[in-house]
Amino acid sequence: MIDIFIVDEGGNIRATFPDCEALHKLLEIPPPQDGCCLRFIDPYGDSTFNLLQLPVLAGELRAAAAKGAAGLRQRIEALAAFVDSAREAGDVREVRW
């Protein structure tokens, strides 16, 4: 499974997304080729998104959620909200997958 963390400026983990299986299920769906975040999530290595990338990532997650089944849609919306919470926090450096 892929763990998803919010990391602060000091390199400390501030929060962990509790439903890492939701991302695994999302990655089974081919990402849009015109996207610039989701298609670069590496299921076998680390992927890091900085503060400037977080709004784009959240938007791509919401677009993908809209195409998914109802159960998956809710889980991906929760992940997008988690990404938004990182963006809204003052001292967050990145979201790491």
Q: What is the reported pLDDT for 93?
A: 86
Taking residues 39-49, report their average pLDDT: 89
pTM of the model: 0.89
Q: What is the reported pLDDT for 13?
A: 94
- Is the per-residue pLDDT at 32 higher than 80? no
The H-assigned helical ranges of 1-97 are: 20-26, 54-67, 70-88
d(CA 92, CA 20): 20
Confidence category of residue 17, pLDDT binned at 50, 70, 90: very high
Q: What is the reported pLDDT for 70?
A: 85
Q: What is the reported pLDDT for 88?
A: 85
